Amino acid sequence: MDSLFPDERPPPKARANHVAAYVDRCRELGVDPPKRVRGVLAKAVDELVAEGQPDDHIAAGVRLLADKGLRPSDLPFALVQAARRQERAALAEFVAEHGWPTGAAFVRGSHSGTYVYHPLGTDRPPDGWPYPRPSREEVEPVVSALASIGAFLSA
């Protein structure tokens, strides 16, 4: 056995749920996957669950596998691609609602306020602002983290 802790096995429900979701999606698309395909997928799901991959990423990867007709052994690659799609969707939603961030956020104190740098700041920066606009590499992880906890509230 490859595991250092042989008693720690992925919960069977996690595997069954993901394989069932794959079968359901394939049937929606008009194909009934053979047992061998289901077995390969179950093994790939077990490996990802054992690695500690988030369930929502595995589910998105499984859906992408079914939608694109990929091999079940490609699940780790589909998982990465699906996670990137979720990040991009969260960023697109943020930008559609707020516009691209300026990097400036006006914060108020008890008697006055000042501007601070924040990757999602959308306030107009004051003259002489020493920071450039935030890059995609700065904005994407913050938006992704906020989206994962459901922090986007309508203004």
Average pLDDT of the segment spanning 5-10: 52
Look-up of token digits 């979720």: 86
Residues 45-65: tens digit of each pLDDT? 999 988 888 888 898 999 999
Contacts 24+ apart (CB under 8 A), 106-113: none
Confidence of residue 155 (pLDDT cuts 50, 70, 90): very low
d(Cα 40, Cα 58) in Å, to the nearest integer?
Answer: 15
Those residues with Cβ within 8 angstroms of residue 97's Cβ, 6 or more apart along the chain or in another chain: 152, 154, 155
Confidence of residue 135 (pLDDT cuts 50, 70, 90): very high
Asked whether residue 1 carries a pLDDT value surpassing 50, the answer given is no
Give the pLDDT score at 140: 86
Asked whether residue 99 carries a pLDDT value surpassing 60, the answer given is yes
- Helix H, strand E, coil C: the string for the chain is CCCCCCCCCCCHHHHHHHHHHHHHHHHHCCCCCCHHHHHHHHHHHHHHHHHCCCHHHHHHHHHHHHHHCCCHHHHHHHHHHHHHHHHHHHHHHHHHHHCCCCCEEEEECCCCEEEEECCCCCCCCCCCCCCCCCCHHHHHHHHHHHHHCCCCCCC
Average pLDDT of the segment spanning 134-147: 87
Average pLDDT of the segment spanning 123-141: 92
Instruction: Supply the pTM of this predicted model.
Output: 0.61
